Structure 1
Amino acid sequence: MLRTLGAELFGTFWLVFGGCGAAVLAAGFPDLGIGFAGVALAFGLTVLTMAYAVGGISGGHFNPAVSLGLAIAGRFAWRDLVPYWIAQVLGAIVAGAVLYAIASGQPGFTAGAFASNGFGDLSPGGYSLSAALLAEIVLTAGFLIVILGATSAYVPGGFAPIAIGLALTLIHLVSIPVTNTSVNPARSTGVALFAETDALAQLWLFWSAPMIGAALGALIWRFILTPGDALANLGGET
């Protein structure tokens, strides 16, 4: 179990450090910044690379909402849920701390939003709480459906990380202007701790909405999209 949790911790560290690092260090660089598209691609690449690197050890969740959705879908043991959440959040916090240490090496550095998520005044596009809530629920639900479909026995093996990474890229392309894209409570927590805004006060939304979306996506997959014979044989790990 220690090896499994270590894989989740490092995978989540890589996701937050790579994705949020692209936003903090590279997106706003004068004239050469990678912009929204570059940040979206960075998040997708972190999941793709870690899914291949350590997915065989832990399943490659790197996200408390994904772990919850997989448990609801019968693909993950409920007893392992809290240990996974702890490992994921710790990995995200360590990533936020390392990123802060690097970013603060620039003269005149101020953390500002520090790639945190938010709505209202903390939304990149000024989107409302209701818009942020709906976006996070719908996109997390879609993400779980992609994960469950790409890892099912009914598709060719070995390509799931590509589909999942591209799905996360697409999600960021859609929602960076709305919430700066969470769909991952650990990712939101890891950088909110270091932001110089009210990101921590809004963190409740970026735990609740992805969890609701993950549960919704898992239920849609399990009871609507799963082939009948697979559903009949689905015992799950409970």
Structure 2
Amino acid sequence: MEGKEEDVRLGANRYSERQPIGTAAQGGGDDKDYKEPPPAPLFEPGELKSWSFYRAGIAEFIATFLFLYVTVLTVMGVSRSPSKCATVGIQGIAWSFGGMIFALVYCTAGISGGHINPAVTFGLFLARKLSLTRAIFYIIMQCLGAICGAGVVKGFQQGLYMGNGGGANVVASGYTKGDGLGAEIIGTFVLVYTVFSATDAKRNARDSHVPILAPLPIGFAVFLVHLATIPITGTGINPARSLGAAIIYNRDHAWNDHIVARYRLISKLWDMV
């Protein structure tokens, strides 16, 4: 009851992460028909004393755990079948990823913002929609949830898991690491762009006559990106998903593709700065 009373006293959004999901309030005043939340400070010490801050991190952990659990199990089911016609195939895997994102964002949007992806968290941090404290905490919890989710799948049947790639992201035969990197950059851009577009306060105010459920376009974007990039890299637009599967699978070829892709991406971003 103590934690519940604190939420009532402070409000669930007392220390808001300021990402727009579920929080794009429309208000009067001035000449605008919408209200943008103020930019988040770089460091907000008060967050560390709020139960809502830790509850949001737990929500990110559980959501990423469930995301890896369901999606990697789907990948294993397709990989173990001798005939792709007897399984859901690539389309089913893509629906699994997109559908889980839709469901989990819907469930956690009011608690943590429903990021479930360090790339989304980092993008919202750069947009000043959440503090550095919260961004780091979210990313840590997302990675831990991904590791645990993949670990549970491996615990069901280790031989099957290790013999079918463990859901780890690797560059497919016939493609170069540069091809894989390009596919991942564009795929991640599509996802983050959709997140910002679907949850923009101005858009919600302008299109208020059109009901929009933010998790729906986000989940659909994940589905479409997976359709395009599963044949290239297995789709690693979620760094926590890639890291969790790589750690649990723990094979050299998976680590090589994982590390090289991340290193090249960081290098390109550094050169741009």
TM score, norm. by length of structure 2: 0.70
Q: What are the residue-to-residue correspondences of 1:48-197 with 2, within 5 Å?
A: 48-104=102-158, 109=160, 111-112=162-163, 113-119=165-171, 123=172, 125-153=173-201, 154-155=203-204, 156=208, 158-195=212-249, 197=251
* 1:156-212 residue CA offsets vs partner (Å, 9 max, x unmatched): 565110100000000000000110000111100111123263212332245457779
* RCO comparison, higher one (Cα < 8 Å, 6+): 1
Q: 1:145 to 1:68 in 2, by over 3 A?
A: same
Q: CA–CA distance in 2 between the matches of 1:146 and 1:212?
A: 25
- 1:40 corresponds to 2:94: yes
Q: What amino acid maps onto 2:240 in structure 1?
A: A
* 1:64-101 residue CA offsets vs partner (Å, 9 max, x unmatched): 11100111122222221111111000000000110101
User: What is the DSSP-based 3-state SS (H/G/I as helix, E as strand, rest coil) of the residue aligned with 1:194?
Assistant: helix
Q: CA–CA distance in 2 between the matches of 1:7 and 1:44?
A: 19
Q: CA–CA distance in 1 between the matches of 2:124 and 2:153?
A: 29
Give the % identical residues. 32
Q: 1:209 to 1:37 in 2, by over 3 A?
A: farther
Q: What amino acid maps onto 1:141 in structure 2?
A: F
Q: CA–CA distance in 2 between the matches of 1:135 and 1:21?
A: 24
User: What is the DSSP-based 3-state SS (H/G/I as helix, E as strand, rest coil) of the residue aligned with 2:119?
Assistant: helix
Could you say which residue in structure 1 is the equivalent of 2:66? 14
How many residues of Structure 1 are paired with residues of Structure 2 in the alignment? 208
- Over alpha carbons, which structure has the higher Rg? 2
Q: What amino acid maps onto 1:24 in structure 2?
A: M
Q: 1:182 to 1:34 in 2, by over 3 A?
A: same
Q: 1:72 to 1:110 in 2, by over 3 A?
A: closer
Q: What are the residue-to-residue correspondences of 1:209-228 with 2, within 5 Å?
A: none
Contact kept in structure 1, 2:67 and 2:100, CA below 8 Å: yes
Q: CA–CA distance in 1 between the matches of 2:114 and 2:80?
A: 30
Q: CA–CA distance in 2 between the matches of 1:214 and 1:140?
A: 14
Q: Which runs of 5+ in 1 are unaligned?
A: 216-238
TM score, norm. by length of structure 1: 0.79
Shift of 1:26: 4.0
Q: What amino acid maps onto 1:5 in structure 2?
A: G
- 1:24 corresponds to 2:76: yes
Q: CA–CA distance in 2 between the matches of 1:213 and 1:43?
A: 28
* Bigger mean CA offset, 156-165 vs 91-100: 156-165
Q: CA–CA distance in 2 between the matches of 1:74 and 1:117?
A: 30
User: What is the DSSP-based 3-state SS (H/G/I as helix, E as strand, rest coil) of the residue aligned with 1:204?
Assistant: helix
Q: 1:184 to 1:16 in 2, by over 3 A?
A: same
Could you say which residue in structure 2 is the equivalent of 1:202? 257
Q: Which runs of 5+ in 2 are unaligned?
A: 1-52
Q: 1:152 to 1:10 in 2, by over 3 A?
A: same
Could you say which residue in structure 1 is the equivalent of 2:49? none
